[in-house]
Amino acid sequence: MVTPRRRVAHSAAGMERYDCAGATPTCVAVVGDGIWVGFADGRVRVVPGGDDIDAVGASVSCMATWADRVAVGDASGHVAMFRDAQLVDRRRLSSTSITAMAFSVMPLGNWEVAAASGNVLTLFAGAVRPRLQIRFDRTISGVACADHRLYVTVVDSPVITVVANGEKVGEIVAGSPITALCGGPVAPGMNLAVACRDGSLYAVKGDGEQAKVGEVDLPVTAVSAACGRAVACIGHFNGVKVAVDGKVVDPEPGADEWAHCLHAAGPAIAWATYDDEICLRRVALPDMDIGMAVS
């Protein structure tokens, strides 16, 4: 059994760390007050203080969350659905790894979860409902849900494809290849946060209207939106910092490990280090229109 041991870092921000005792974390997700951690051996665990949840099969590759619901994808093409940390459904969607997912509390037509594998996006809901597959011309890199629509990106492309009721209905073009996106209140009337390889962060409307809300000098690897703000996690070797309007204002002392498999949910940011530790930090965003968290 994997038993992450808690170790609270001595830092001004009170960052919490959990030692995975040699197990290799491959995916993390902030859910409520805890962190769901997926491991290379297919196990899933909630920290702090949780027990192992039912194994999903192969190495955990991605997660999607909504309230007490969590969807977990693995490298063998399976998706496991949990509610209140209890397994409620498990199915195989593909022969290859699940690489991105989006979860909506309101069904997208007859579907409420979207899972990407290779260049195929699969929409599905309960076990008795049919699934729908949509193909793209490249490998899918990101999926987000906002305003009851899906927004899908592919590798090395600035284009977001809009999907509604199971059909492609439009495209939105950013200024640089898109590296991360998520649904959530970013700015008034804008419920999609989009981050780009050049370090730009945009708030986007479903009709394609865009507003640039920040820029840093690093590629963005994860983005979250809550409380009318965009929170971006930018891949960097200096751990976690806080930035506003693209400027670092709150360096995190001592957080100098390489970080991977980042996840941000509102002001909470979780990530894994290559020393097999899980880190959690809750960011106090300044009283400004836009806040970003940089890692």
What's the confidence (pLDDT) of residue 121?
95
Using DSSP, state whether 152 is helix, strand or coil.
Answer: strand
What's the confidence (pLDDT) of residue 15?
75
Q: Which residue has the higher pLDDT, 121 or 247?
A: 121
Weakest mean pLDDT among 27-41, 85-99, 197-211, 212-226: 212-226
What's the confidence (pLDDT) of residue 260?
74
**Counts of helices then strands in the chain (DSSP H, E):** 0, 30
Q: Whole-angstrom Cα distance, residue 6 to residue 47?
A: 9
What's the confidence (pLDDT) of residue 281?
78
Residues 197-249: tens digit of each pLDDT: 888 888 888 777 888 877 777 777 777 765 566 666 655 544 555 554 455 55
Q: Which residue has the higher pLDDT, 181 or 7?
A: 181
What's the confidence (pLDDT) of residue 254?
44
Model confidence band, residue 110 (pLDDT cutoffs 50, 70, 90): low
Average pLDDT, rounded, for the chain: 78
Kindly state the DSSP code that residue 163 receives in the 8-state scheme. E
104: pLDDT strictly greater than 90: no
Q: Whole-angstrom Cα distance, residue 280 to residue 269?
A: 6
Question: CA 155, 277, 2 angle in degrees (round to 5)?
Answer: 105
Whole-number percent of the chain with pLDDT over 90? 27
Q: Which of 139, 196, 199, 198 is nearest to 172 (CA)?
A: 196
CA torsion 155-115-95-278 (nearest 10°) is 80
Q: Which residue has the higher pLDDT, 251 or 115?
A: 115
What's the confidence (pLDDT) of residue 72?
94
Tokens representing 157?
Answer: 């492309």
Residues 131-173: tens digit of each pLDDT: 789 999 999 999 999 888 899 999 999 999 999 888 999 999 9
Q: Among all chains, which residue has been given the structure tokens 């969350």?
A: 65
On whether the CB atoms of residues 283 and 271 are closer than 8 A, the answer is: no
CA torsion 144-146-186-84 (nearest 10°) is -70
Q: In sequence order, which residues have a C-beta less than 8 Å from that of residue 189 and are 6 or more positions away?
A: 205
